[in-house]
């Protein structure tokens, strides 16, 4: 793998990366990473109810969602955001676009990847994207896929928190303190005008995870005073030199 510090987020819809890992993106950009975000769809059909109620057309909805995501990416200092425009509800990725995503994984050579929970009965686009992320990671590691290209190493895949956590079988094993970049995440959240009802919800999630960070970093006997945090579930064993 390259010595360059990189990360890749694979987001089913154009707003998912904001709610679920916006803090991780902003923090790692600050730490010198180049974070690339791949949005597989704009979430135009299933996650834009406010815009449909306003009488917008499909093209208008997609255009608005794209602009919101671009503004949010700018607030988070995203290195690169790419829109695959594959449609949603349902999200379906054909062979050519799957290979395009593999190409992106190999081009980025991420030190770690972020995507959705493995199970989400409320939104099958999300768990489809999780499965797809594992598949393209596998293909990008294969020496026989487009021989001669630089193959992928073994980046961790972190699954970010789903909307209704308890229903998803999602269990965090990593808490990331995002307090120092919270203002950036909140600014990105407020770019998503089409889903205003989620602004305070995900602020509350960050506050709750901040509490979990404090408790798990030492609690009342000396835990770090994190105010906001994000939780993640790692898929693969982690190899580390120190804890």
Percent residues over pLDDT 70 in the chain: 97
pLDDT tens sequence across 127-151: 999 999 999 999 999 999 999 999 9
**To 10 degrees, what angle do helices 16-30 and 58-75 make?**
30
How high is the pLDDT of residue 1?
A: 43
Q: Which helix H or strand E contains 232, and what residues bound it?
A: strand 229-234
Q: pLDDT (tens digit, 9 = 90+) per residue, 187-229? A: 999 999 989 899 999 999 999 999 999 999 987 767 889 999 9
3-class state of residue 35 by DSSP:
strand
Per DSSP, what are the bridge partners of residue 10?
Answer: 38
pLDDT of residue 243: 56
- Res. 153: pLDDT tops 80: yes
Q: Average of pLDDT values for 226-233?
A: 96
Instruction: Determine the average pLDDT of the residues in 71-84.
Output: 98
Q: What are phi and psi of 208, to 5 degrees?
A: -65, -40
User: What is the edge-to-edge ordering of all strands in the sheet holding 156-160?
Assistant: 80-83, 34-39, 6-11, 112-115, 156-160, 229-234, 174-177
Sorted by sequence, the CB contacts under 8 Å of residue 222 that are 6+ apart come out as: none
Average pLDDT taken over every residue of the chain: 95
C-beta of residue 36 within 8 angstroms of C-beta of residue 9: yes
Rounded CA-CA distance 38/167 in Å is 26
CA distance 218 to 120: 32
The residue that leads in pLDDT, 208 or 238, is 208
Contacts with 94 (C-beta within 8 Å, 6 or more apart), sequence order: none
For residues 18-40, average pLDDT: 97
Give the per-residue pLDDT at 240.
Answer: 67
Number of Cα atoms under 13 Å in the Cβ half of residue 192: 28
pLDDT of residue 220: 73
Whether 27 shows a pLDDT value over 80: the answer reads yes
């Amino acid at each position: 793998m390259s010595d360059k510090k990189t990360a890749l987020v694979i987001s089913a819809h154009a707003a998912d990366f904001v709610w679920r890992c916006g803090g991780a993106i902003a923090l790692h950009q600050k730490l010198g990473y180049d974070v690339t975000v791949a949005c597989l769809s704009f979430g135009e059909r299933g996650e834009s109810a406010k815009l449909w109620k306003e009488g917008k057309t499909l093209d208008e909805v997609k255009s608005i969602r794209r602009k919101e995501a671009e503004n949010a990416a700018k607030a988070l200092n995203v290195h690169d955001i790419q829109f695959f425009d594959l449609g949603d509800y349902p999200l379906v990725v054909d062979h050519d676009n799957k290979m395009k995503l593999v190409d992106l994984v190999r081009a980025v050579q991420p030190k770690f990847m972020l995507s959705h929970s493995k199970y989400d009965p409320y939104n099958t686009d999300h768990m489809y994207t999780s499965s797809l992320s594992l598949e393209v990671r596998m293909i990008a590691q294969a020496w026989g896929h487009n021989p001669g290209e630089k193959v992928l190493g073994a980046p961790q895949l972190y699954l970010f928190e789903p909307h209704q956590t308890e229903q998803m079988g999602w269990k965090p094993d990593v808490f990331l303190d995002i307090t120092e970049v919270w203002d950036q995440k909140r600014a990105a959240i407020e770019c998503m005008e089409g889903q205003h009802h989620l602004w305070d919800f995900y602020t509350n999630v960050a506050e709750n995870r901040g509490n979990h960070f404090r408790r798990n970093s030492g609690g009342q006997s000396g835990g770090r005073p994190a105010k906001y945090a994000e939780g993640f579930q790692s898929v693969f064993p982690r190899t580390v030199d120190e804890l």
